Amino acid sequence: MEDLHYDQFMINIISGAIAIGMYLTLPVLGYLADLHGPVILAALSIIMFCPGYLLAAYTYKYKMSYIHMAVSFCLIGCATSACYFCSLLTCAKIYPERKGLSISVPVTFYGLSSLILSGFVFKLPLFQKDSSINPDLLISDATNKTTLDTYKVFVGLSIMYLILGIVNWVSSVFVTIEKHLLFSKLNCNYPTQQTSETTPLLNDVLEDNDIIDSSESDSFLNPDQINDHNKNFKNFLNDNSMYLLYGAFFFLAGPLEFFITNIATLINIVGIKDNDIIGSILINSNETNEISLHVTLFSLLSTISRLVMGYLSDYFLNKPKDSKFKVSVITLLICCIFSAIVGFLLITLNSSFFSLITIFVGSAYGGIFTLFPTIAATVWGVEILGSTWGLFLSAPALGSLFFGLLYAYEYDHYCKVSISKFQNDFIYCLTFPFSVMTLGFITSLILVILCWKTVWRARQIDI
């Protein structure tokens, strides 16, 4: 905002472009991954990461229009999703009997990367510059009076993702080759056998002396596999519970994505700066409203939540139905939704403890993005997880864009005019948008319970 003179509306357009790149492309990416394997996603991530970050660096250096920045971050978002989906689908299909952990571990490292970058890498002298601009709007070091050199960060990320993309592509090639050999063997020996939800992508059915029919290995795909996938996906689209769950994800994930995108402006508005006692204890800093510290706290809590929810969902899903103590995945999801409700209610009430808000929202974010794909894999199967979860992930894109524009309108018209006063009247400028988002969380809670009690329980789906 300070360097490029973008207003809040422009920033939310850019964040909307990120969401579009990350989420609206996922149905296509998931479909490609289901049929062609993860290697194609690894290649796409290389193609889009480097140009995206280089365009962002060029736009920042020469102070170009926000449209250019939006295009660059749309490419970055799409590349991020391709890289993320490549890892998630590979793990989920290799270990289908451990849906929770196979999904939560790659998602955990996906979130952990932001913690490492913001907490350690971007604090290196290589990425710092002397500056006297507003420290509340950039990641800053209060002791050394240095600020992040955004241009160097973008260039550094383009180089880093080029290297990581190549490594990811090479590793994905091995997975694709193993899958090719496995399906060739199954097609030769069991031409009428269909793989089930619990059939691993890789197993030990292939020995060194296996003989693969060359006619079967000429092509990775065959018409039967494509027809089976399309049939299962059509059944998924005809399932009424899918639309209920999609609506729940829209009202739930959209505001959560919006929160992390707009955390810089929220820190400067919500509550009274000097009274953030919990933040002072947790962060151990006199400048408790620094964005980097809250991003680190958010990433830490979301990472812990991903691992905990992944482990718990696996533990309870694999317990016998007649166990005395068994908690459903839906119950875990309801706990995460309540955490999000509490966090946004604190913002609505203009709470002084922003670190507490970050804890609640970060915990909800990590758990929700672990449990929703686990539910999708359990209800509709691992074989089409790329297509099903990819379709679901379009909901956060639409949700974050809608709620982000709502917030931007309220911010520019009511909050921005007195952003430096830090008075209690800020509750007025944020009460309406965050009340709407909180009601959205409650709506998502009702929709999830409706799916669980009326549809899945009638089908005897153990979830």
All residue ranges of the chain with pLDDT < 50 are 132-145, 192-219, 273-281, 283-289, 419-422, 424-426
128 forms bridges with which residues in the sheet?
Answer: 148
Closest CA to 391 of 24, 13, 66, 105: 24
What pLDDT is recorded for position 175?
65
What pLDDT is recorded for position 351?
81
- Angle formed by the axes of helices 394-410 and 426-450, to 10°? 160
What pLDDT is recorded for position 427?
56
User: Which run of H or E residues covers position 243?
Assistant: helix 240-261
202 in Cβ contact with 182 (< 8 Å): yes
User: What pTM was estimated for this model as a whole?
Assistant: 0.74
CA distance readout (Å), 108 to 66, 268, 336, 366:
31, 29, 16, 8
Half-sphere exposure of 3 (CA within 13 A, CB side): 19
- The neighbour count for residue 345, using CB atoms within 10 Å, is 17
What pLDDT is recorded for position 182?
61
Share of the chain above pLDDT 90, in %: 24
Q: What structural domains and CATH numbers belong to the chain?
A: 8-456 (1.20.1250.20)
265 in Cβ contact with 8 (< 8 Å): yes
User: Which run of H or E residues covers position 130?
Assistant: strand 128-130
What pLDDT is recorded for position 420?
46
Q: What is the pLDDT of residues 424-452, one digit of tens each?
A: 444 557 888 999 999 999 999 999 999 99
- Give the Cα separation of 306 and 326 in Å (integer): 20
